[in-house]
Amino acid sequence: MANISYKQFTLGVEEEYMVIDPITHELKSHEQKIVHEGQKIIMDKVKAEMHQAVVEVGTDICADVDEALMDVGTLRKTISGIADSLGLWIGASGTHPFSHWESQLITEHARYSEIVNELQEAARSNLVFGLHVHVGMETREMAIHIANSARYFLPHIFALSTNSPFWEGRKTGYKSFRTKVFEKFPRTGIPDHFESIEEYDNYIKLLVKTNCIDNAKKIWWDLRVHPFFNTVEFRICDIPLTAQETIAIAGLFQAICAKLYKLRTQNLNFMMYNRRLITENKWRASRYGIDGSMIDFGKESEVNTRVLIYELLDFVDDVVPHLGSRNAISYVHKMLEMGTGADRQLKVYEETGSLINVVDYIHDSFLFGL
C-alpha cells in the first residue's frame, strides 16, 4: 500500500471568549479595547465579534496538535493579560450563566448590522461562544468526501465539548444550551450529504443567485467545507473551559479526517448516515452530554455515550502515531473522568447554589494548565 502523507491535515483553531466584569460578574463590553491592544501583539489573530462582550481568536495554520496547543496557550494568556490590564476578566463557556442578551451591545460594523437587520431577534439573542476547528485537505473533492463521512461523529465529539448548562440565570436541563440558542439561525445544524463538490458549489451559487445569502460564510452548519480555504471546518462544539480540552477535541477531529482519508486510499468507505438520524444523536448530546446514550445506527440500538467515545478512540488509534497526537487525544480519558465543562459548572452550582461562583470557576479555569 502506498505511503500516506499525513502532513496535509494541518490544524487551525478558533475560540470565542467572553469578557466579564469582575465586580458584577456580568458580561461586559470591552469597547474593542482588547482587540485593539491584542492586534499590537498578535496581529490579526484577534478580532471583534457581533456582540461587544465577545472576543474571537484564531491560531496560525498549525502543523500538528503540539503547535496548536502552543498557539492556543499564547492566545489565551495574551488576551487574559490584556483584559487584566483593563480591569476585565476573560472566560470560556458556551453561554454566560446569567447575563441577558438584551443588555449587551452589538459591535458597530456593516456586516453585523446587516445580519441583525436580516435575522432580527435571532441575531441579537445569539450571545453564545463556540469552538471552530479547521483541518487541512489536499483538495476540495477530498474535503467533501471526508465531510460527508465525518458528520456521523459530530454528536460524539460535541458531547465531550458540552459547556453551556445555564442561560439567563436558569439551569436549562441541557448540557449544551448554546446549540439551542444558535438553532434559531437559518442554515444551521448537521448538513446534508453531498454527492460531489460540484453539487455543494452549485447549492451555494443558487443561494447567492436568489439572494438567500450574499456569500458562503452565511452557511452556519455544524461542519462545512470552507468556502475559501482547503479545509473542513468543524463548528458544532461549545468553547471548552480549558486549552487542553480544546486541543483534545481538535486532535480528535484531525484524527477522524486522517482515518477517513486512510480508508479512502484503501478503497474503503465509512457508512453514510442520514442527516435525520445524526440529528437524533446531536439532540441527545446537547441534552445529556457524555452521561446519556446515543444510537448506534449499525446495531440499531442505544449505547452508552462514553462507550461510543471509547469506540471512536479505537477507530482512530492507528492514525494517531502518524499525526503525533497521542498525548492530546489521551486527554479525552481525563475528560471522561472529570466530566465536561457543563458537568463541572453544574457541580459548582450544586455545591454552592451560586451562579456568581460558577462565573468565578469559568474565569479561574481559563488559564488552567498553561
Tell me the domains of the chain and their CATH numbers: 11-365 (3.30.590.20)
Torsion angle of C-alpha atoms 313, 319, 325, 326, degrees rounded to 10: 60
Measured CA to CA, the distance from residue 234 to residue 132 in angstroms comes to: 6
Rounded distance, CA 193 to CA 217, Å?
A: 19
Give every CB contact of residue 225 below 8 A, 6+ residues apart in sequence. Answer: 140, 143, 144, 147, 197, 200, 231, 232, 233
Please tell me the number of Cα atoms within 13 Å of 283 on its side-chain side: 7
Element (H, E) at 208: helix 197-209
DSSP symbols for 135-174: EE-S-HHHHHHHHHHHGGGHHHHHHHH--B-EETTEE-S-
C-alpha 350: how far from chain center: 26
Judged by DSSP in three states, 366 sits in coil
Q: What is the pLDDT of residue 1?
A: 47
Give pTM, 2 decimals: 0.97
Looking at the DSSP assignment, which residues form a beta bridge with residue 227?
A: none
pLDDT the model gives residue 2: 56
Q: Yes or no: say if 251 and 66 are a contact pair by the CB < 8 Å rule.
A: no
Residue 223: closest CA among 139, 323, 131: 131
SS3 99: coil
CA distances from 351 to 92, 171, 205, 270 (A): 21, 14, 53, 44
Q: How many CA atoms lie within 13 A of 351 on its CB side?
A: 9
- CB distance 119 to 247 below 8 Å: no
- C-alpha cell of 180? 439551542
Beta bridge partners, 224, equal 233
Report residues of the chain scoring pLDDT below 70.
1-2
Nearest alpha-carbon partner for 15 in 104, 123, 85, 91: 91
Instruction: Write the DSSP assignment of 112-145 as a string of letters.
Output: HHHHHHHHTHHHHT----EEEEEEE-S-HHHHHH
In this predicted structure, what is the pLDDT of residue 130? 98
CA distance 147 to 223: 7
Query: What is the distance between the alpha carbons of residues 175 and 160, in angstroms, rounded to a whole number?
Result: 10
